[in-house]
């Protein structure tokens, strides 16, 4: 066990955990931030996507010891009131069915749009391909990302 000081959603938090513990479980079990979801544990489904700095990463493969000074943003910290353009677009498009994968989809989409504010369909598909939606809301996700891109650019 070791102590780590983590910057999560703008707050500094201390945890005492095994250094190999993936951030996914630090967030869920220790910091009680359960919006980040467990899907596969091997970086194949994208349900656990969070932002490390500005980059979307799979928190199931990110050991707490590798985080250091970098800031972490989870779905709970993406916006104050759930009004990030991507969140608004998700609401508008009524994207979700079961909803379980959507935090990961939203975190991936928001990091992607920051890098590429005016993506083409193919760029969206490429960027989002690592995020599985078992309910099959892919066409709505794509529409929402396009809408979010126009909201942010408005």
Partner 1 sequence: MTLIKTTYNRRSFLKSGSLAGGGMILGFSWLASCKPTPEQVSNIPKEWFDINSFLKIGDNGMVTIMSPNPEIGQNVKTSMPMIVADELGVDWKNVIVEQAPLNTDIFQRQLAGGSQSIRVGWSGLRMAGATAKHMLVAAAADTWQVDASEITVDAGVISHTASNNSAGFGDMASKAATMPVPEEVKLKETNDFDIIGTDRRNVDGPNIITGKPLFGIDIQEEGMMIAMIIHPPAFGMTYKSMNADTVKSMPGIKDVFPIDVYKDDTEKQWSDAGSIDKLVAIVGESTWQCMQAKKALNVEWEESSALESTEGHDEALTKLLNTSSKQPARKDGNVASAFKKADKVIERTYSAPFLAHNTMEPMNFYADVTAERALFNGPIQTPEFLEKTLASRLGMPVEKIDIKMSRMGGGFGRRLYGTFGVEAAVISQHMKAPIKLVYTREDDMTQGTYRPTYKVKYKAGLDKEGNLIAWHVKGAGSNDDLLFENRFPAGAVDNYLAEKFSLETNVTTGAWRAPRSNFVAGAEQAFLDEVAEAAGKDPIEFRLELFDRAIKNPVGEPEKNDYDPVRYAGVLKLVREKAGWDGSQKNGVARGVSAYYCHNSYVAQVLDLATDKKSPKVTKVWCAVDCGIVINPMAAKNQIEGGIIDGIGHATYSEMTFEDGKPQHKNFDTYRLIRHKEAPKEIESFFVDNGIDPTGLGEPSLPPIIGALANALYKATGKRHYNQPFITEKSVIG
**Footprint of partner 1 on this chain (CB under 8 A)?**
1, 17-18, 20-22, 25, 28-30, 32-42, 44-45, 47, 74-76, 78, 81-82, 87, 90-91, 94, 96-103, 106, 121, 124-126, 128-142
Q: What are the φ/ψ torsions at residue 38 (nearest 5 degrees)?
A: -90, 120
Spatial distance between the Cα atoms of 150 and 154, rounded to a whole number of angstroms: 6
Given a contact cutoff of 8 angstroms between Cβ atoms, the answer to whether 67 and 52 are in contact is: yes
Question: Which of 26, 32, 47, 33 lies closest to 98 in space, CA to CA?
Answer: 47
Question: Which of 25, 44, 45 lies closest to 36 in space, CA to CA?
Answer: 25
Taking the complex as a whole, the smallest distance from the CB of residue 10 to partner 1 amounts, in Å, to 15
Indicate the residue among 44 and 118 with the shorter CB distance to partner 1.
44
Indicate the residue among 53 and 99 with the shorter CB distance to partner 1.
99
Taking the complex as a whole, the smallest distance from the CB of residue 83 to partner 1 amounts, in Å, to 10
Taking the complex as a whole, the smallest distance from the CB of residue 51 to partner 1 amounts, in Å, to 13
Indicate the residue among 41 and 114 with the shorter CB distance to partner 1.
41
Taking the complex as a whole, the smallest distance from the CB of residue 61 to partner 1 amounts, in Å, to 12
Taking the complex as a whole, the smallest distance from the CB of residue 112 to partner 1 amounts, in Å, to 12
Spatial distance between the Cα atoms of 39 and 24, rounded to a whole number of angstroms: 10
Indicate the residue among 7 and 135 with the shorter CB distance to partner 1.
135
Cα distances (angstroms) measured from residue 64 to each of 9, 22, 113, 117? 15, 6, 26, 30
Indicate the residue among 5 and 129 with the shorter CB distance to partner 1.
129
Given a contact cutoff of 8 angstroms between Cβ atoms, the answer to whether 76 and 95 are in contact is: no
């Amino acid at each position: 066990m070791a102590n780590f000081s983590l910057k999560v959603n703008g707050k500094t938090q201390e945890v005492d955990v095994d250094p190999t513990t993936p951030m996914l479980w630090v967030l869920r079990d220790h910091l009680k931030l359960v919006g980040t979801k467990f899907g596969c544990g091997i970086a194949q489904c994208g349900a656990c996507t969070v932002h490390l700095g500005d980059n979307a990463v799979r928190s199931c493969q990110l050991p707490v010891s590798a985080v250091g000074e970098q800031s972490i943003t989870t779905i709970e910290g993406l916006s104050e009131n759930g009004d990030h353009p991507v969140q608004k677009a998700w609401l508008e498009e009524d994207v979700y069915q079961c909803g379980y994968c959507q935090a990961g989809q939203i975190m991936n989409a928001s990091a992607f749009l920051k890098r590429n504010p005016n993506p083409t369909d193919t760029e969206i598909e490429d960027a989002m391909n690592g995020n599985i939606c078992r309910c099959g809301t892919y066409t709505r996700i794509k529409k929402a990302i396009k809408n979010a891109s126009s909201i942010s650019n408005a």
